[in-house]
Structure 1
């Protein structure tokens, strides 16, 4: 990174004044007149540009880090800016006005969901160490103390700064300021090649193993050697002349070990520089306002565990199968069963008008192949427009019907599209599941009309209505094969929000639904200041009474005991609107799941429950309160908000498959410890081993979290690791 500089003052040969609109660290919106200075490449290997600017309304000097529209179209470039923004905002919240805040750049604002995203910092303090000649011995100890203190703060948050170099460490003669936050990753994440010789550790250079705070200790040792001697050190071990520099040798001899396991931690180096300094790092931990909400969640699970089952269930966890091989037609929503006299295949116009007679086919292989492409005309409802059902939907046992519930503004269609796309991309394979389209032609049309446009950055239109007063829209069906080789059709429906009509003719459909996904729109549920801008754009207001569609569905489902028995998942959708706010930031930054950890599912559920209970109120938690087995999740179908009708960098989904994985586990398609019945009510092994919050101290600067990771996040800290 090239260090910020004041050499080209705003308005001095820069761009003419204009307006800048951005979000402040507190979540508010600000419009300011701005004058820009000359622009330069932040680092020749990085896409970010940097320029000084002056906000005229307050005369505030800032530095803008931005991407051009061309660079911003690259998801990896956007991920770097997301990482930097998330890390900077997290440190802003964590450090406040403490003595540690000056060790890092101070955030002024950000605007990421736009064609040319940017981040604003307050004017930097000092000049890059790369521009400093040999450092005086009197400055070395202060410089080292500040640098290692900053690394201790990051280490306490489980963060590793991979890009530490003389270009990213600023020095004003009294204190250090650490830049290069785009290079932050989480400790324990796989290393990827990053940085330049000799400042990146050997393991990081090769992209081997897992990121470790001692990677940054190597970098710090190299920076100090450069400042003490005026030349770079060797890339794979200690400098030959290290012993000639007494202070440097005493503090960093072990730091040059080519393996992280042989190096000291940041706190251990700090203790060498200033004995006891690591133990003196204390950050004020705010009162835990989430505690009563977390306790309420645990109490709710306790009551659910004690409640008897409403009725016996089969091994899959689903209601008993209908007799005579009947299944629910995904179009007219009436029961239907296979009838070999009503089969058709497509003609040369791809219309299912050609009757199929299978009575003369004796070869079972040929018959199976023909039947896979065949359909049956459904006449269960003579008043419904003519429609056909793929034969595989009728011949693989009871279908699993998954219904998305919520108002039309919640983004259900985008979420469901990305959920199905994740399946077809192989997202179920780590769980022992494979998929096949029920109807290849229909699936190809779904990919062509829904998946591809969304991935290309287009905002999807509302799904076309398919009858029943716009109540239930059939979207897609797949054949899912589990690890035991058992095949089950899975049909996905989008239940209309405002169009949900409370009539038996429509709501009778709910009696056959096997799983529900309730999608919460944060703009409607959460009265948080960072959502005010979204509410203003969309013309909506906070609704304290919850989603009307939730209540309509819950009131119609059969209830034979204290709780409804249909498995459900609640999803805080459009979570990118809150991607820099805890606990959303922590979950959105996690990589996609490759195994189903009951403890993590419970931890995420507890965090979402606490967020909704603390800000939205109990009305928004009605599905969790009414349904015995209900998990809660955080997801974003697009990764960001649209700008002028498009997603500037395409739609990058985050955690869209996790709700479905939980439902499949509750239905027995994914094996989980303790069994499907115990999965969502806290009886599965591992639930009681979720780590609690640890108090800061002993060199630690922040508490752990419910998911066992350290608090906070680096925004998209796992992204952009291609360098």
Structure 2
């Protein structure tokens, strides 16, 4: 029986994919009294990918929400994922059906071991983490095979552990984006608002981008796990345990400009992880990140006028990337960055911020260059020089004023009369232009 065709698989997927911690490494829940306490605190780059474990928990016990007027109530970093133990009576895995040329090698996104993609087991996983091998059935049609393998995973066991890789990822170009900022900076709210805009904006018409979830079932699980959907109900996002970062959302983006399909994976990373020196095990994907979004808390400027603003971990992140990327004497790091001043609605008393935050220009990238210049001057004048480290170190960088909610919460909920997303998609679109997914001319009219 001839086997049905499958998407062409790139020769390599480079970059570490993170393994979930063992049960013994899972941090204990914070006491209730501490849950709402504030936490202390270039166009070219190597392409990589990072994904979470194949299994996500069936239910995640969430702590009660304690609203904060100035704090994002979600603790930085996603919750660790429990890896299920071996299933009883688990049969020995057989090589999966090939979907590429013979001898095609892949780099495991978890352990960086090389393995034969065509011989790696192809499985589906249920909610209990039990694997079901997938093989074409006699006389099975191509349409039925593609439907049965829609949520399939390839397995690398070269290093002695099972590492699960979404099978659909093999036919796309990975695009890794790290969302960096200190706890309470507004990262999670910004990401949730960005996801809503990605799904609602008519990007196929305005920018020739077709955006869909990488895997609808996985996307639903991720949204429920991190409770990102609460923002659409005007609820303050709850805190989550700080653990090993994994991607928080995943999209398949098809560009009408390049004809390529991209697997867009976004990680939510706390700047404190880097200042604590735990980056080797916790954020290996940074070594292959394709782009970075640095999120600065605009409220830090508002409450401390005239005083130097503390480094939100940006310098530590850039130092880490400099070490692992080995720029080789180059003046700038070969990774584009977007610096976002989150909660900019709190800075409307400053005319240089107000004239940008009130604009309805989220999809218009022609003014990104002017906004970047104005934001740079504003932050330098406000003593936020440490926030500008990405601009000084990265080969390509843009600056943005944005707000995920447009207003402060009241009793754990954002007032309906003022609740709105303000310019949250603009930083991501700028990065796509810097990465070549969109034409560079959109943000730089003089670019050839």
Q: So what's the TM-score if we normalise by structure 2? A: 0.68
Query: Quick one: higher RCO (CA 8 Å, sep 6+), 1 or 2?
Result: 2
Whether the 8 Å contact between 2:211 and 2:251 is mirrored in structure 1 is: yes
Find the aligned partners of 1:638 and 1:325 in 2 and give their Cα distance. Answer: 45
The answer to whether structure 1 residue 653 and structure 2 residue 421 are counterparts is yes
| SS of structure 1 residue aligned to 2:317 | helix
Find the aligned partners of 1:409 and 1:325 in 2 and give their Cα distance. Answer: 42
Find the aligned partners of 2:307 and 2:149 in 1 and give their Cα distance. Answer: 51
Give 2:218's aligned residue.
442
Find the aligned partners of 1:629 and 1:390 in 2 and give their Cα distance. Answer: 31
Whether the 8 Å contact between 1:463 and 1:473 is mirrored in structure 2 is: no
The answer to whether structure 1 residue 550 and structure 2 residue 319 are counterparts is no
Give 1:418's aligned residue.
193
| SS of structure 2 residue aligned to 1:372 | coil
The answer to whether structure 1 residue 479 and structure 2 residue 252 are counterparts is yes
Whether the 8 Å contact between 2:338 and 2:398 is mirrored in structure 1 is: yes
What RMSD, in angstroms, separates the aligned Cα atoms of the two structures? 3.2
Give 2:352's aligned residue.
583
**TM-superposition CA deviations, 1:514-572 (whole Å, max 9, x none):** 10001111233x2x4xx36xx9xxxxx9653422x211110122223011110110000
Equivalent residue in structure 2 for 1:510, among 286, 292, 304 = 286
Give 1:376's aligned residue.
154
Distance 1:505 1:617, change over 3 A: same
Find the aligned partners of 2:214 and 2:269 in 1 and give their Cα distance. Answer: 21
Structure 2 unaligned spans of 5+: 1-41, 50-102
| SS of structure 1 residue aligned to 2:246 | strand
| SS of structure 2 residue aligned to 1:478 | strand
Give 1:671's aligned residue.
439
Whether the 8 Å contact between 1:575 and 1:635 is mirrored in structure 2 is: yes
Whether the 8 Å contact between 2:402 and 2:423 is mirrored in structure 1 is: yes
The answer to whether structure 1 residue 495 and structure 2 residue 269 are counterparts is yes
Per-residue deviation, 1:472: 2.5
Instruction: Report the structure, 1 or 2, having the larger helix content.
Output: 1
Structure (1 or 2) with the larger CA radius of gyration:
1
Give 2:132's aligned residue.
354
Give 2:86's aligned residue.
none
| SS of structure 2 residue aligned to 1:502 | coil
Equivalent residue in structure 2 for 1:345, among 103, 107, 124 = 124
Structure 1 unaligned spans of 5+: 1-308, 310-315, 536-540, 686-723
Find the aligned partners of 1:352 and 1:439 in 2 and give their Cα distance. Answer: 19
Give 1:319's aligned residue.
46
Find the aligned partners of 1:435 and 1:647 in 2 and give their Cα distance. Answer: 28
Aligned residues: 342
Per-residue deviation, 1:352: 4.9
Find the aligned partners of 1:325 and 1:648 in 2 and give their Cα distance. Answer: 53
Distance 1:435 1:407, change over 3 A: same
Per-residue deviation, 1:488: 0.9
Distance 1:607 1:452, change over 3 A: same
Find the aligned partners of 2:396 and 2:155 in 1 and give their Cα distance. Answer: 36
Give 2:144's aligned residue.
366
Distance 1:634 1:328, change over 3 A: farther
Find the aligned partners of 2:272 and 2:352 in 1 and give their Cα distance. Answer: 30
Give 1:610's aligned residue.
377
Find the aligned partners of 1:425 and 1:363 in 2 and give their Cα distance. Answer: 34
